[in-house]
A and B are shown apart, each in its own frame.
Chain A
Amino acid sequence: GAGVSQSPSNKVTEKGKDVELRCDPISGHTALYWYRQSLGQGLEFLIYFQGNSAPDKSGLPSDRFSAERTGGSVSTLTIQRTQQEDSAVYLCASSFTSGGYEQFFGPGTRLTVL
């Protein structure tokens, strides 16, 4: 079946602009995760959804970052007033159960903030 898909694959924006990144999880997967991959920080957790609720937002780096999930499926990560340090690859993963033991990743969105 289809894997996790993310769009856009690449996004270039100017400092101060808002961006929205989209994730379509694997069909039937109830849990969804956002991670960020950057040269300096490696792979780091941002937020976790179980259904439409986010019980763990502990990894969001600032209040400029927010995420939502609708219909237990698609999720959107929004970054407001982007800064150059937000440049990274944003990865989405999904898992069949809330235990999250097998997380399957999408290809990521490469965000470049000029």
Chain B
Amino acid sequence: QQQVKQSPQSLIVQKGGISIINCAYENTAFDYFPWYQQFPGKGPALLIAIRPDVSEKKEGRFTISFNKSAKQFSLHIMDSQPGDSATYFCAAISGSARQLTFGSGTQLTVLP
């Protein structure tokens, strides 16, 4: 059973544009929602994370929006740059389970 659904599978954005990736979860026990960025041949790198008591968190060009009632969260990348081209994974964790449950990933391409 896929507990975190991620869309779109791939995304192409022009340089300077806004990239938006969406995730939805089912398990209400999840209490921490990180986003990871992965470049080819590298491990996932923690990008930004949010807890469900906050509706938005911003770090530089990256913003997470969180809708607890809808069980949805999204990553917005403002002023997207070619260097942002990577695969992005949303994830969720509950303190009791300890394990990260990942979405299926979004391959982002930012055109110069």
B interface vs A, CB < 8 Å? 32, 34, 36, 41-46, 49, 89, 93, 95, 97-105
The smallest C-beta distance from A2 to any residue of chain B, in angstroms, reads: 14
Decide: A42 near B105, CB < 8 A? Known: A100-B93, A102-B49, A104-B46.
Answer: yes
Decide: A4 near B43, CB < 8 A? Known: A42-B104, A43-B89, A101-B93.
Answer: yes
Would you call A48 and B98 a contact (CB within 8 A)? yes
> How far is B97's CA from A106's CA once the two chains are assembled, in angstroms?
21
Give which listed residue, B43, B44, B99, contacts A59 with CB less than 8 A: B99
Most buried by A among B36, B43, B95: B43
Give which listed residue, A4, A35, A56, contacts B98 with CB less than 8 A: A56
Nearest B residue (CB) for A3: B43
Would you call B49 and A101 a contact (CB within 8 A)? yes
Would you call A45 and B43 a contact (CB within 8 A)? no
- Return the 8 tightest CB-CB contacts between A and B, nearest first: A105-B43, A45-B99, A43-B102, A100-B98, A101-B32, A107-B43, A105-B44, A48-B98
